[in-house]
Structure 1
């Protein structure tokens, strides 16, 4: 072992020598005092908190069961009326829709804990953010952050999350229940949103700095009151290992006490900072620490006098580093040092210059990014304006009894809504098919029985991704150019996979390319050119499309070839 006097600085050896002896002596006394008093305190706190948690659990379980029963009742009533939505004319459907909305609203208004009810179904209900009941399309469930909680279960409590209301984002805790019809077919999801403040009123912490966490039977956190608990996963594992409904333990920097309901569905975990529990003991130990510090300070004064000249250059460098700020003059450092300190000062100056250059570059990039974001937001204003305008026109048509116009506007609005709800470059084949179905249904209202169309999608192709708005320009060109002057129209869409490619065929019985060529150059060609450029930009020139006349000019076949993409971003 090397002699420390030959390896380390004299000031360090002297300081550590004197301070070490004092620290060892006082540490032994402090540790004994802390251990004895801490054990007594934790036993008392554990007993008291377990009693409080048990009472909270009983009160909370009673209210949660009430919410679940309300959800079951609401689901049954909704299911009875939902089957009648597909019977009768528009007037009957509007009347039943209003009755559903009224019944569900009554559940919200009669249950103080409820904030709102959300319904996910395939029926196109109208949703008003001002109301207590909101309706959403069934295919939107998979996009929700809590989808995995209910995916493989008929019912589940969803942890704390936010919902959009007329007052902005509101934190709620939700109970989700799948609704089944008489044939046990899953047709809707009922979400009962409970105000977070109501939950918190049941589980108020016993101390100022303590926190209470509600965990369900699967170990998932539902909500939390107070400061965050460290190592939540370790706490859940600890409770499972002890196999006890009640208990306590020190976990990380917290002292936790838990109480599980008799049916093992809910567990309340109260965490108290360990420092708070041992505060009294620490005060006693602080007295001993002060005595030790006093002795250390005495040794420190002797060492400081000897080491001051040695540590002065380091202090200057640290002061310059702490006071450094962009766009301000750097602190001047001595230039008469020729040893290692001089090298440190020189290196610091070079580093400061480099940091300032990087900051200016970053600032310019930030300005360009802000400008690009502003342009992007401005481009979104027009589509939103058109969508809202169409919605107003649709309501005007409904009030005027123009159901045919209302249906056409509804399909157009759905197309706008789909374009605004998903801003990704790529969408699934299934989403793209939904988009063109709205367009074909729009045309069906105009052509009535003269229009016939079919869409066949291979099952494996439905989940593949493709560029957004790829199919609409082809179908739109068929109506604008191919079917112009015709009394009947036929369109067939077929999507399938072939090896590593996604193949799309769109066939019509229009005039063909020759008779529509001039109009295509002046109007329809821009949409197809846009599709071609987007495909080549995303996948290269290997992938494109071709337009081919059917025999005897009895129509056109559009053949599109794309790569198979299973995930957005691949």
Structure 2
């Protein structure tokens, strides 16, 4: 990315480039981290909000079921009242006085549970008796009536024959004070002491809808939230907003989406009236009802909005701080460079009396100190230039004459190769080609670090030349795993070992000899084995020679290779000798699998080691 930025502004001042680089290096990670934290926090807060809303809906379901259980317990208490059991198990009265007395007794029982004027009045019971048409003539009670009053109601026909109780739902009551709503529960009654009377009446318990509305109002997630309950036809049963009660919500898009969701619980975002809302729901399967909560996202996301503002403030502060630090750093770097450039311009004009004054103690101190020394030396050299010019030219001429130009050497070898081919002497051509490759790989354009395949080709060229010398007395093979290619090594580590194997092993044995070279990659290390079937040697003595640091050993080439490897790659790298099965020796070379190399650092390390 920095290269791309650099290509876009080739003419921009170094100071501003450094400033931009510092800002990118600081702001980019900070932005990525901030966005990541925000996204994670947003997800966490959203999940917590949904969990909190669903918890409120669960509490609503629990409270509603508890309310109905209380109504059911009241119905059971009335049903199991001894006086009520006696009346329900008896035959209908036979005269006017009997009906009046029965009606008075039932009204008394129900009034004792209703307590309409007491502080604990919550539910209103009412009894509908079967086969009591006379109640219409003598009915002086609002709590007792005949079953014919409700026989035509749709909900009555849908009552199950046997159930602990049945929730009827929303009921509209018309009174002199206006229209009110209650939630009704019904329970079939039977003659417990007279099996001949299977069904005697129906007991209903009515609860004021305001009791349910109060519960919903207390459990809503936020101040501006709205919570209501709908039935399986999308009609509103309970709502603190009484204008919604008994209305159909089927045409509302979010209600339609909610009704089509197979899950019993859920939440989704929706725009209602141009405002983002969180719609949450929970179905009460036992009742066929659904509790719906609609909350403004702005109310629920208060923590998220505060966190976002805090994150923006911190990010802006970090950017301002990063800009200030980047400006200071870029000035600290570029000011000495500008001073250095100014001094160089004076030197370019021939003024070598200018010295750079620098008070800090950092890398520039050493640079300017050396630069000042160099300027003084240049001044001295210029003064001596005229005197030493002739001697220098003579020395240069001698140096040039004493050197062999690699290009001249390659051209000469190519000419010999051409003459050999012209005179049909392929052996000479092959040998000259191998020699040319050997020199080319040995020189390696001055590089001390080369690819391992180049090192192997140099060894193969060397073996090819030795093959001409020993004729049929020398065979060789190279087996290299493809994974080995592409890794770097220090040059001229294998050829000295192969040369030792030929001189001290193959050359001293009678008959044909063979050198096998195998290279393989094992995890983070490359292992190269050079095996010969020569006369062999004392493996312990050879390894002791490698471990000896006194410098009294005779095999300088082998020890030099081992020391170079350890100095460059560490103590785990190096060479070891092993006895070959049958006859001969195996020298194992171990180097790390390195696929990249900074050439400048290599040269610096090489100079340090020398």
- Classify the TM-score, shorter chain: 0.3 to 0.5
TM-score computed with the length of structure 1 as normaliser: 0.36
TM-score computed with the length of structure 2 as normaliser: 0.34
> Between Structure 1 and Structure 2, whose CA radius of gyration is higher?
2
